[in-house]
Amino acid sequence: MNAVSSMPDKKDSRLRWRCRRGMLELDLMLNNFIDREYDELDNEQKSLLDQLLDYPDQLLFDLFLGFMKSSDKDIDRLVSYIRKSVAT
């Protein structure tokens, strides 16, 4: 896995720094997603991702590993998208 790239896109850097978490699972999941999919996201998805990154680590862990499902449909859809991108 490659950690943060050194491209000087500041919005991207800010987002990437927020993907640095306390658990390896989250680092892998989020950095992989940003590397592969970030450019494909529309503005609404980007702001949803920003919202998701405010969640505490333990909750993200439970969502990403499928132990829990968000009742917010939009978040749930984004989580599924992130989960799908890591396993491929």
Considering the rule CB under 8 A, would residue 83 count as an interface residue with another protein?
Answer: yes
* Cβ–Cβ < 8 Å for 82, 30: yes
Considering the rule CB under 8 A, would residue 14 count as an interface residue with another protein?
Answer: yes
Rule CB under 8 A: choose which of 41, 68, 75, 86 binds another protein.
Answer: 86
Q: Which is nearer to another protein, 41 or 83 (CB)?
A: 83
Q: Is 14 left (phi over 0), alpha (psi -120 to 50) or beta?
A: alpha
- Residue labelled with tokens 């950690």: 3
What whole-number distance in Å separates Cα of residue 26 and Cα of residue 46?
A: 18
Q: How far is the CB of 55 from another protein (least distance, A)?
A: 11
What whole-number distance in Å separates Cα of residue 36 and Cα of residue 80?
A: 15
Q: How far is the CB of 39 from another protein (least distance, A)?
A: 18
Residues in touch with another protein (CB under 8 A):
1-8, 10, 13-14, 16-17, 20-29, 31, 56-58, 64-67, 83, 86-88
